[in-house]
Structure 1
Amino acid sequence: MKLHNAMWPGLVGKGTDEGQEPPISLERMLDLTAAAEVDGQKFDGIDYFLFLPHTNPEASDDEIRQIADMIASKGFNVGSVVAPVWKGTVGDSAMGNSEQRELFLSAVKVACRIAGIFNEHGVRKYGVIRIDSAEFGLDAWGQDPKANTQKIAGTFKEAAKIAADHGERLAAEGEICWAGMHSWKEMLNLLEAVGMPETLGFQADLAHTYLYLMGYNAPEHALLQDGYSEDEFYAAYTQMTDQLRPWTIDFHVAQNDGEVHGAGDHDKTGKHCPADDPNGKLDIVKCSSYWLKDAESRGIQHICWDGCMFPNAVLEDPKTWNTILKTMIQVRDDHLAGKGPHTL
């Protein structure tokens, strides 16, 4: 199982508005990742955000090949890629009007095109294309939850057909900020409504799914309350992962301190913390094992660290990446040793 680092922490929540930190370039993110090493082990690859300033979605084939050359020159593979499905990028809301939904599908086509160039180049041999509903917040969705979930499911079905035609699979991101995907139960409802597990599955992130447990944006689906015991935590974790693990085809290792965080126009999202954060709520290795049970049977060939919206000073600190890499190695080695959730 390969170990990857995400490139989008250099972009998400960054910008040029007052109070925002500047983006970190793709090459700098690659160099920071390449510098990490623990007992001779380095990161094997990266997961990649298909948008500016790292990538122009409208870049020519030759320009994409040049990016592939640069990534390969750092010793990396490309794994999963994130489609630019949001308004202001290429796409728009998956539950919007017909024009908006068509823009969403155009973003999936863009991602398939770029992923295909990476595949032909040889820098990409595994991984999925990540999507979400591109409907930020619950206000519009909440006006008619059932109908709006069906709209999202319909758009996702069309997106899955596009992906299948390109030999790709889509993973729907489990995060509390996306309408119709904001709780473990709503996520499951959406996956079942799409009903195409061979093409569209779930992307689990340890930080985001912790907030699923707490029902942050869906109190009616909370599996835990503040002050829970360790036994209560793992009983709830088992319930959630038993439901979502069969759908899980992409996995992010991460830490969460129980808080919601936002930066720029990306608000109310699960807060990612450094791997050794003293306020972290998760035993990263043990919690990962719940998601990675039988991972290979679901086509998972790599895991990725997600440090989305880390401050730039944290991203620029070499200690950050060595600590993360050490944690990733522990997750991988325990998985390969066959240590499941109840034997750690």
Structure 2
Amino acid sequence: MNNYPKLHNATWPGIVGKGPDSEPVIPFDKLLEMTAAAEVNGVKFDGVDLGLLDPHLNIDMSDDDIKRLADKVSGYHLNIGSLVAPIWAGSAMGTPDQRKTFVEMVKKSCAIGKRLKELGVRHYGIVRIDSAAGVSDWAKDPAGNTKLIAQTFREACDVAADFGEKLAAEGEICWGGMHSWKHMVELLQMVDRKNIGFQADMSHTFLYTMGYNAPEHRILPVDFDKSDREAIKSALKTVTAALRPWTIDFHVAQNDGTVFGSGSHDKTGRHCQATDPNGLLDIANDAGYWLRDEKGNLTKAFQHICWDGCMFPNAVMEKQQTWNDILAALIKVREAHGWKG
């Protein structure tokens, strides 16, 4: 059996879309327990990707706190992979102070990431960012705001390089300047740093093909037949051809072609359960558009893949079977597009 890419679960779905304006946050320890307990034919998760977000984790944690975190995760026989930087207190296209805060959050996240590597619990992964700006605000001055975002990202990349970290910009339709596949490519080219790349999420990036928030970049027609797999595959090939060369982090997910938001989170590509009969993606097959090049060769551009299931109801997330089903989907992706290392 293939043992790469490593299989990770994400912890931030216990926070994103939760809180006072939605359902209660799912505790960090609970997510670790369910991840560690998942098993399919003797195969278990290899690790977790972490959101450095309150109330799970404090971005200003002490070195002793970082050691305790490393011990806790490794105690479940899990590794740590990619980290989400809590950059939303600032904005990549905001005021000078907001942009300074954005970069500072990236710096703190990279420092934690480096320390986790030193402690032997983190062997791969990136630090994830977005523009921390809405699409409507960006649209007030597209060219000027994209330049501001690129400048902030450059500053963040320079800081990350000091820690030996790479940054991955998440492709999601709710982030201004990153809300279409063409805008995303333009932004990454403008940043022009060796240590920045793209974080592809199968749910979010599928919405790119449908032109949500950027109808001028739509690939699938408005009235496309959702049962037409050939049309969907063709659209995915267009998006992945443009963004695959930039992709350094990858989320396996399912989507039914609709948008969804909960709590304070803006609407974005709906994350469906791995077994959702309304899902439009063939998870194992369609992951290959990201994991293989145009000739069908494995890119091996990242050492782990992660399941992202934000904004699932707590009743779903607190069922152990949910995580077994997710693990099963990840295993199928690795069997189809993995390697032995």
Aligned residue pair count: 330
Distance 2:216 2:48 in 1: 36
Q: Which residue of 2 aligns with 1:291?
A: 290
Q: Is 1:151 aligned to 2:155, yes or no?
A: no
Q: Pick the aligned partner of 2:96 from 85, 95, 98.
A: 98
Q: Pick the aligned partner of 1:217 from 193, 213, 217.
A: 213
Distance 2:52 2:339 in 1: 34
Q: Which residue of 2 aligns with 1:316?
A: 318
Q: Which residue of 2 aligns with 1:341?
A: none
Runs of 5+ consecutive residues of structure 1 not aligned to the other structure: 339-344
Do the aligned partners of residues 296 and 156 (structure 1) sit closer, same or farther apart at CA in structure 2, a change above 3 Å counting? farther
1:1-344 to structure 2, matched below 5 A, reads 1-17=5-21, 20-87=22-89, 92-135=90-133, 137-196=134-193, 198-225=194-221, 226-228=223-225, 229-293=228-292, 297=299, 299-336=301-338
Runs of 5+ consecutive residues of structure 2 not aligned to the other structure: none
Assess if the C-alpha contact under 8 Å between 1:248 and 1:298 holds in 2. no
TM-score, length-normalised on structure 2? 0.94
Assess if the C-alpha contact under 8 Å between 2:291 and 2:300 holds in 1. no
Distance 2:305 2:283 in 1: 13
Letter of the 1:108 partner, please give it. Answer: V
- 1:114 deviates by 0.9
- 1:336 deviates by 2.5
Q: CA RMSD in A?
A: 1.4
Assess if the C-alpha contact under 8 Å between 1:249 and 1:298 holds in 2. no
Distance 1:141 1:296 in 2: 36
Letter of the 2:48 partner, please give it. Answer: I
- 1:64 deviates by 1.4
Distance 2:299 2:262 in 1: 37
Distance 1:325 1:293 in 2: 21
Assess if the C-alpha contact under 8 Å between 2:171 and 2:205 holds in 1. yes
Percent sequence identity over matched residues? 56
Do the aligned partners of residues 120 and 325 (structure 1) sit closer, same or farther apart at CA in structure 2, a change above 3 Å counting? same
Distance 1:129 1:277 in 2: 30
Assess if the C-alpha contact under 8 Å between 1:44 and 1:77 holds in 2. yes
- 1:231 deviates by 2.1
Distance 1:205 1:80 in 2: 14
Assess if the C-alpha contact under 8 Å between 1:10 and 1:29 holds in 2. yes
Q: Which residue of 2 aligns with 1:342?
A: none
Letter of the 1:123 partner, please give it. Answer: V
- 1:154 deviates by 0.6
- Deviation string 1:276-307 (CA, Å, 9 cap, x unpaired) is 10110100111100001169756400000001
Letter of the 1:27 partner, please give it. Answer: D
- 1:189 deviates by 0.7
Q: Which has the higher contact order (CA 8 A, sep 6+)?
A: 2
- 1:264 deviates by 1.4
